[in-house]
Amino acid sequence: MRQRKKSFGKTLSGIYDLLIYGFLYLPIAIVVLYSFNTSKRNIVFEGFTFQWYFKLFQNDALLQAYGNTLIVGLSSTVIATVIGTLASYGMSKYKFRGKNVIDSLLYIPVVIPEIVLGISLLAIFNIAQIPMGLISLIIAHATFCIPFVVFTVNARFAGFDRSVEEAAMDLGAGRIKTFFTVTLPIVMPGVIAGAFLSFTLSIDDIIISFFTTGPGSNTFPLKVMELTKTGVTPDVYALSTIVLAVTIGIVILSQRDKKPKSK
């Protein structure tokens, strides 16, 4: 009786896991499948073909949109990572008046609706007379990515031993050298995690990009949203499949177990 209950529990657990993974990955599998569809309308799967992967490189508008996405994502990630890391370092090391207020204000870009942040940034750009384009997109994306970097690096600074810095300075290292040779390497995992999070948020953003973009600076998410009005073409699925394959490859390489070399 006990074995039957255990077997029944395992079966239910397996069904539950199957449903969860199906809910998460079935839409992605459909995108991959339809990238090989002979039908341009992509309503039903009619046949298997590689033609859309070749036609993808003839779609200049789509490739330019994805190029803009990479430019904005990488640029905003670098800016947000540098500013966020320095802000986290200063706030974790020094105590000053208004520190708790600043900590609280950092949560505002995270918790407020993106449409509010997008409208606010649009108003600021208009007041400052900043032209809408890649520059405005980079500034906007860096703005909402900075708090995520701060939170991630703060988690690394939470258990940081300040005596290591003091020991380095006692041995003759200056503050700048101590930061780059001692502090930064220790918190680097948090910095890298914050950078990856910022890049992911940037290349996936639609709402803020919609309010802060301009002529000639369309991004891939905005391009896909535009195509949904007339129908998403299979070359979009092909590009998505290529990006997915590259992402999976990077994850596999980063998670690969490194076996120690035998002496």
For residues 76 and 208, the answer to whether their CB atoms sit within 8 Å is no
Residues 145-198: tens digit of each pLDDT? 999 999 999 888 887 777 888 888 878 888 888 888 888 888 898 899 999 999
Please tell me the CATH code under which domain 60-242 is placed.
1.10.3720.10
Residues 86-105: tens digit of each pLDDT? 988 888 877 777 778 877 78
Q: Is 213 exposed, middle or buried (0-12, 13-18, 19+ CB in 10 A)?
A: buried
User: Could you report how far apart the first and last alpha carbons of the chain are, in Å?
Assistant: 54
Count H helices and E strands in the chain, helices first. Answer: 13, 0
Q: Is the pLDDT of residue 111 over 90?
A: no
pTM here?
A: 0.83
Which sign does the torsion angle of CA 253, 257, 258, 263 carry? Answer: negative
Residue 247 CA to residue 253 CA, distance in Å, equals: 10
Q: Specify which residues 48 forms β-bridges with.
A: 37
- pLDDT of 1: 62
